[in-house]
Amino acid sequence: MYDPNPALVSRHPRLPGVELMHGPRSGESYLLAVGVRLDPDQLVDVGEWLAKQGREQAARRRR
């Protein structure tokens, strides 16, 4: 059963089931969207969300 450490997972605020799991190595992340159907607008939303998560992760590494 999938049960990640909640500190290592970012959940999309508007799309249930879309998560970004941060890996053990710096800068390593996995997009999880199992059983989620996305229309084109939602795909754009996920892309923008991923970009924001990446910028935030890079800023944390620089500190």
Q: Residue 4 corresponds to which tokens in the numbers above?
A: 């990640």
Under the banding of pLDDT at 50, 70 and 90, the label for residue 1 is: very low
Mean residue pLDDT of the chain comes to 82
Radius of gyration of the chain (CA): 12
Instruction: Please check the confidence at residue 44 and state whether its pLDDT lies above 90.
Output: yes
Q: Residue 26's pLDDT is what?
A: 67
Q: Distance between CA 24 and CA 14 in Å, rounded?
A: 26
Average pLDDT value for residue range 26-54: 87
Task: Give per-residue pLDDT as tens, 26-38.
Answer: 667 888 888 889 9
- Residue 61 in tokens: 């590494």
User: Higher-confidence residue: 25 or 62?
Assistant: 62
In this structure, the chain runs to a length of: 63
Nearest CA to 8 out of 23, 30, 27, 18 is that of: 23
